[in-house]
Amino acid sequence: MWHRFRTWLRHVERCLAEGGRILTGGAPVLRLGTFFAPTVVVGLPANSVLNSEETFGPLAGLIPFDDESEAIRIANDTRSGLAAYFYTRDASRIFRISEALHYGMVGANTGAVSSETAPFGGVKESGIGCEGSRHGLDDYLNLKLTAIAVPM
């Protein structure tokens, strides 16, 4: 667990060096156990550490953008591709953005993208294939065609 703390602290330090400003959090909360405060950083460049490395922690970097296409370009400009999240009131935008994002899982208006019935997995350097649901079994199966001529 301390490896995670070191990663989160390093990412917070890099965000500050990149010109980011911490809105909340940014440090461990050890009096409660092994916790790290939920952290929100603003004012980050598009190539911020929080957009280029998988943090796997309670850190969110808010990167400004001018329009939908720029937001998608920024989101896809990473080697990772496990999960992406966005919020909108426009139902047609949900499908358009979800299709344009290069991620294995996309949450629209929710932070909960996985369950035991849904495939779980990423793309790019975040993995190949998926686990969970019936789709998680595909890597363990071999399809076979058997053609049968019925005697007359």
pLDDT in tens, 46-74: 889 988 888 889 999 988 899 999 999 99
- The pair of three-digit structure tokens given for residue 111, joined into one six-digit string: 């932070």
149, 142 Cβ separation under 8 angstroms: no
- The pLDDT of residue 101: 95
Same-domain check for residues 80 and 57: no
State which of 45, 64, 83 marks the end of a domain.
64
State which of 16, 42, 64 marks the end of a domain.
64
pLDDT in tens, 115-128: 777 777 777 777 76
In angstroms, the Cα distances linking 54 to 69, 78, 80, 88 are: 23, 10, 7, 24
- Whether pLDDT at 142 is above 80: no
Same-domain check for residues 97 and 140: yes
* Owning domain of residue 71: 66-152
- Classify 109 in phi/psi space as left (phi over 0), alpha (psi -120 to 50) or beta: left
Same-domain check for residues 40 and 20: yes
pTM (whole model) above 0.85? no
